[in-house]
Amino acid sequence: MNTQQYQDALINYLIPFSVKNNGVHLIVEGPVGYVDVWPTTGKWICRGSKKQGFGLRELLLYVTKGETLNVVKPPVSI
């Protein structure tokens, strides 16, 4: 996913954000506080906490509802 797609999604969800470094770094505002987002890698980190994640879908869920996806990974067979 590219930086413009992230920005378009945030605009569609009416989530305020600032663009830094020509879109490489976004600062998203929401009820959970400020979230630093790097669209080129999909990584995001919530300021002032240890909460972090990957991907636009999880970011939108966290910013709009304050929750993340609970992805259960299958056990690895040896």
- What are the tens digits of pLDDT across the range 18-48? 999 988 999 999 777 899 999 999 999 998 8
Residue 16 has pLDDT above 90, yes or no: yes
> How far is residue 78's CA from residue 26's CA, in Å, rounded to a whole number?
41
Residue 19 contacts by C-beta under 8 Å, 6 or more apart in sequence? 7, 25, 26
Q: If you search the block for the tokens 């400020």, which residue do you land on?
A: 34
DSSP structure class, residue 48: T
Which contiguous run of DSSP H or E holds residue 20?
strand 17-20
